[in-house]
Structure formats: C-alpha cells, structure tokens
Structure 1
Amino acid sequence: MVLARQRQAMILEEARRNGAVRVSDLVSRLGVSDMTIRRDLDVLAGRGLVEKVYGGATAVLGPSTEEPGFEAKSVRQRAQKEAIASRAAELVQPGTAIGLSAGTTTWTLARALDGVPGLTIVSNSIQVADVLRASSAPDRTVVLTGGVRTPSDALVGPVAVHSLRRLHLDQVFLGVHGMAEGAGFTTPNLTESETDRALVESGRRLVVLADSSKWGVVGISTIAELDEAHVVVTDDGLGEAARTVLAEHVGELEVAPVNDDTEEE
C-alpha cells in the first residue's frame, strides 16, 4: 500500500517530468480509483504545485527567478520540514562549528538544536539568528554575517561572502529552492547563490535539507552539484525515481518519516 503523501509525490514527479498527467493513466499506473487520484490532484493544486485541467493536471513550475518571501514559504510542507529538521539535528555533534543557510527548513533545524551544547553557529539568516538568540542552549556562540537583505530574509552580497570565506566549519546545513538531476541544488536568487556557495566552501561536510516537493524544481542559479553533498536529508514523500537518482550521486541519502498521513484506499 502506498501512502497518500508518497502517491502524490509520484504524481508530482510525473507531472514535472512530462509537463502534465492524465487521471486515466494514473489510475492504471498506481492501482487506485479515479476518485482517489482526483483527491490527490486537489491536494497538489491546493499547494500550488499543479493546475487542474480537464482529465488531469499540468505542472506549475514557475519562473526560474521566482522567489517567495519567508512568510509564504514557512507555511508550506510544515510536517515534512519538522521531520527533516529532527533527523538533521541528530547529525550535529556537541562542541562543533556549523553553518546554517537561510531558509525555512534551516530555520526549523535551528529550533531543533536546543539540546546540543557548546555549538558555534554561523548563519546569513536573520530569522535563524532570531531563533538562536532566544534559545536556552548553554555555551552557544552565534555569528551572523552582514550583507544585504533578500525577500527570504537572507543576508547576501560581498560583505557576507567575505565573512564566510574566512571561516572553517565542521558542517554546513544548506536549504535549497530546488534540486534536480543535471541542475543540482539551485536558488532563484543570483546574489544569494554566490553567498551560499561561499558558505558551502567554508565547511568540511555539506548536508542538504530539502523536502520532497523540491525535487524537479530548478532555480536560475546552481549552488552545488548533487555529488557535492555528503548527505541529503529529505522526507518519505520523495518518489522512488528521485531516490534512485540521489542515491547514485550523493554520499548518503537520509529519508525522514512523516507521521501525519493516513492511507485513503
């Protein structure tokens, strides 16, 4: 039995690969009823990932430079981000120096680090810094880069890049706009891409945090190639084809279970 979340990920992956999907084809392929597929399409359309048309749906990819604000992104895929953050927090060792990029998934991770003592945390995110400032974790040092603020509340530009290129971090946790074979890990903001690359280069180990809806999404600029990631942490809604591609390229693929779903038929 395939969970509704996993089935929807398969449908979305198919829509992004071919540009559109037909209900009749999905019924045959997934072995569920016409009504179940239509409910799945309703869910995906409600998230703005597909547009329903007669007999099926078309993919909604958006311009490669489209950049939603922090507040808009913070309400998307909440359960998935919580699961990813919980798993990623297990990778953080006490007393280490880590980097957190800007983004709602890394912001969620910041909230999950209260139990890890002695950390030095570097970030170019105003939102992440606010979470860390309010934390009760002992012996913590927080470093916020300077820079120019973007719609996603990231600090970017030459000041941020200069700061990051002088640092040496144990691990970098990178949130991304999209991930795809060929394009790698991408962002819709050119300036943010340069800053993120400097953050990646400052770390000995790269951990990418990306929920399953990010697969097949391509922003205008590549931050890193797939094979540059030592670990990718995603959720169990990621389709099997995407898992196969990632497993072939990244050092380790961590799939976090999301326990907020039930099967519908």
Structure 2
Amino acid sequence: MLASLRQERILAAVHAHGAVRVAELVDELGVSDMTVRRDITELAQAGLVRRVHGGAVALDARARATDEPGFEAKQGWAAAEKAAIAAQAVRLIEPGQSIALSAGTTTHLLAREIATDPALRPLTVVTNSLPVAEALHGAGPGLDVILTGGARTPSDALVGPVADHSLSRLRVDTAFLGVHGMDPDGLTTPNLLEAATDRALVGCAARLIVLADHTKWGVVGLAQIVALDEIDVLVTDAGLPEPARRALAQHVERLLLAPSPPATPPAPGAP
C-alpha cells in the first residue's frame, strides 16, 4: 500500500474515533510498527493530527475547551490504557468502604471490575453516571448502589442542582474521578454543570483518586474541577511523558502508573 493511502486511512480512523493506537494500525494496515509511526509523524508535521505516546489523536477532539464528545465516542480513545488504569485502581478499594464514582469511560471500566469481584463485598457505591450504575446493577448481594439523579449530559453524567444537593448530604471514604483534561493548573471538563457536580462529588469524600490516561495531559476544558494539590492519588498509564510525571509529582501525593498494554509484533516480512 502506498504511503499516501496508508495515511488517508490513518487520518480517517482518527476522525472516526478521535484517537488511534499504533498497535491497532499495525494489524489493520499489515505494516510494521516503524512504518505506522513514520506515517503518524508525517501527518503530525502536516498539522493533521497530534502525535501522542503510542498513537495519535484528532486535533479538534482535544483542542476545543467546550467540546463534549458522547460516551460511545470516548470509549474508543486509549481503550487499552483505560482498562489497565481500572485494573490498577480496583486494588485501592477495600471491602466495607463507601466510594463515589464519577461519570467517565475509565470509571465505567472500574465499575465493571468492581461488579465482577465478590471479594470487595460489602461495598456501597455512589455515582452520578448512568453507565456506571448499569454496570453495577445486578452484581449480587453486598453491593449497594446510590444514583444521584439530575440532568443528563452527552457523556451520560447526571449533573445540576439535584445531583449537587444529593452529594452534599453524603459522606464517602473515597471518590474516583474521571476527567476530560489535566494540566499543571488542575483538572478540567468542557461542561460547566458537570464541573460543579464533580466538585460536589469530591467534596463528599475523605480521599480523592483521579483516573486519567496519558492523552488527557495538556488538554484544557472550559471549567476547572480541582487543582492538582487536591489529588491524593493519580492513576495513569506508563505512556505519560516524563516531563508530565515530574510536574504531577510536585503536587500529587501519590502517582501510580498502570503498565502499558503489550505491543503487537509486526507480521513476518512486513516492511
């Protein structure tokens, strides 16, 4: 396949899903890891995508402070990294606790981990996320789920005064927060109402654990949720660049790196 055709397919995949991983493109295009990385570099130099560790993301998907993609669209972004983060985060939960899970695709994966682990019972989970509540529904005895209520956003979060009031009356051991973006100034989201509800969720917890894959670094949404100094534990993946790790280490009490997903080896004889 000609380089121009490969790059057209890579660009189409980025536009369709918001982000692509090198390993996925190696399988789809039948070329080597090096070839895919070279194509991504050329697309980035042309100003068509933004290169990140392990792949590429769409410029417009990450650049607009008010852009709020839907839940289904975000599920495909850094999916393997999010799964690794969820698997790391579930180890921070102990039976007998009460926890809060915010809306988000990574917290949804954490909910699925919780639902399949009977060793975590008894457990009480407060959430403002419809997908999280659905993932936990019917998981068996010993798992109590409290859904806040509120107005629904494109990311299937329940937000607004009803959600904020519900959270203000609760106290939990730990809040697990998913975010749209993070930078040296803190955590952000494009939705003003969701930012307020996330702050209420953080406020009802004794400890804050943030779940954010490496592609969230440098992304700035319209509304700030909390500053980095308010984070007790940040669980991210090994793709987070070293400068970002150093910046976070100055503020976050504990930084946990989930292992990177294994790379797919190139097919024999691939260019």
**TM-score tier after normalising by the smaller chain length:** 0.7 to 0.9
Mapped to 2, the partners of 1:228 and 1:108 lie a distance apart of 24
Mapped to 1, the partners of 2:146 and 2:44 lie a distance apart of 38
Taking only the aligned residue pairs, the percentage that are identical comes to: 51
The answer to whether the 8 Å contact 1:186/1:220 transfers is yes
What secondary structure sits across from 1:179 in the alignment? strand
Mapped to 2, the partners of 1:122 and 1:43 lie a distance apart of 43
Q: CA deviation at 1:134?
A: 3.4
The question of 1:242 aligning with 2:236 is answered no
Residue of 254, 257, 262 corresponding to 1:255: 257
The answer to whether the 8 Å contact 1:79/1:260 transfers is no
- Deviations 1:10-35, CA, capped at 9 Å, x for gaps: xxxxxxxxxxxxxxxxxxxxxxxx95
One-letter code aligned to 2:111: A
What secondary structure sits across from 2:206 in the alignment? coil
Q: CA deviation at 1:62?
A: 2.4
* 155 and 58 in structure 1: CA distance in 2 versus 1, 3 angstrom threshold: closer
* 35 and 190 in structure 1: CA distance in 2 versus 1, 3 angstrom threshold: same
* TM-score for the superposition, normalised by structure 2: 0.77
Look up the match of 1:24.
none
The answer to whether the 8 Å contact 1:106/1:174 transfers is yes
Residue of 120, 123, 136 corresponding to 2:124: 120
Mapped to 1, the partners of 2:147 and 2:263 lie a distance apart of 37
The answer to whether the 8 Å contact 1:148/1:157 transfers is yes
Look up the match of 2:196.
194
* 44 and 109 in structure 1: CA distance in 2 versus 1, 3 angstrom threshold: farther
Residue of 153, 158, 162 corresponding to 1:159: 162
The answer to whether the 8 Å contact 1:101/1:174 transfers is yes
One-letter code aligned to 1:121: V
What stretches of structure 1 of length at least 5 have no aligned partner? 1-33, 52-56
Mapped to 2, the partners of 1:124 and 1:42 lie a distance apart of 41
What stretches of structure 2 of length at least 5 have no aligned partner? 1-33, 52-56, 267-271
What secondary structure sits across from 2:63 in the alignment? coil
The question of 1:139 aligning with 2:145 is answered no
Mapped to 1, the partners of 2:109 and 2:249 lie a distance apart of 25
| 1:4-83 alignment, distance < 5 Å | 37-41=37-41, 50=50, 60=60, 61-83=62-84
Residue of 221, 224, 239 corresponding to 1:222: 224
What secondary structure sits across from 2:135 in the alignment? helix
The answer to whether the 8 Å contact 1:178/1:217 transfers is yes
Q: CA deviation at 1:194?
A: 0.3
Q: CA deviation at 1:196?
A: 0.3
* TM-score for the superposition, normalised by structure 1: 0.79
| 1:173-184 alignment, distance < 5 Å | 173-182=176-185, 184=186
The answer to whether the 8 Å contact 1:212/1:235 transfers is yes
The answer to whether the 8 Å contact 2:81/2:261 transfers is no
Mapped to 2, the partners of 1:141 and 1:254 lie a distance apart of 28
| Deviation beyond 4 Å, 4+ runs, structure 1 | 34-37, 42-45, 57-60
Residue of 200, 208, 211 corresponding to 1:209: 211
Q: CA deviation at 1:259?
A: 2.7
